[in-house]
A and B are shown apart, each in its own frame.
Chain A
Amino acid sequence: GAGVSQSPSNKVTEKGKDVELRCDPISGHTALYWYRQRLGQGLEFLIYFQGNSAPDKSGLPSDRFSAERTGGSVSTLTIQRTQQEDSAVYLCASSWDRGNQPQHFGDGTRLSIL
């Protein structure tokens, strides 16, 4: 596709359930990022992938959060035992590499925990 694709666009789930969010980056982009955006706020960095490895996981808020990337392309962000404070928009971005160049974002997954 032409841009970063994320699915689902919306997800409503009950507290305690696990959720899996998917990101399909721009073809050829080796760097992939996950960010979280709470309502009315800026973006918080979660994790960075270069290829299939994650050299920077410093933004993951707890061990309930994990992510993987396979084949240097699609990435999934998994949140286990969801809590209400996990409610936010989860945004994925990709770029050619981690250098000084723009990251291009998808439209995010809006996650609501009941």
Chain B
Amino acid sequence: GESVGLHLPTLSVQEGDNSIINCAYSNSASDYFIWYKQESGKGPQFIIDIRSNMDKRQGQRVTVLLNKTVKHLSLQIAATQPGDSAVYFCAEKPYGGNTGKLIFGQGTTLQVKP
């Protein structure tokens, strides 16, 4: 069935280091992917997205990489800061159908050590 999963439930990094959060997806028909950051007690906050016709997209301190061959998505955060500590979710949007629903992974907790 459809699923989006993350490889590691918790990632601990030193402040200033780069972080890489990975995600595997199973629906090869998905045409849009998105990363969200969720802090405790808050709703998911949009970080960056990428369409399936791209393999890399950069934002401010963040980069998303898409490898459609192995159905893998990653989020890279440069110079990780304490404020980056949160749960990160990847999500995919299956192509087609009269819907815009997103399918979410289970989330990776990022802990930034000072």
Q: Which of A38-46, A63-71, A73-81 contacts B (4 or more CB under 8 A)?
A: A38-46
- Of the residues A35, A48, A105, A106, contact of B100 by C-beta under 8 Å: A48
Interface size on B, residues (CB 8 A): 27
Residues of B within 8 A of A50 (CB): 98
Interface size on A, residues (CB 8 A): 30
Residues of A within 8 A of B104 (CB): 35, 42-44
Q: Is B61 an interface residue (CB 8 A)?
A: no
| Contact indicator A104/B101 (Cβ below 8 Å) | no
Q: Is B1 an interface residue (CB 8 A)?
A: no
* B interface with A by C-beta (< 8 Å): 4, 31-32, 34, 36, 41-46, 49, 51, 89, 91, 93, 97-107
* A interface with B by C-beta (< 8 Å): 4, 31, 33, 35, 41-45, 48, 50, 55-56, 58-59, 91, 93, 95, 97-108
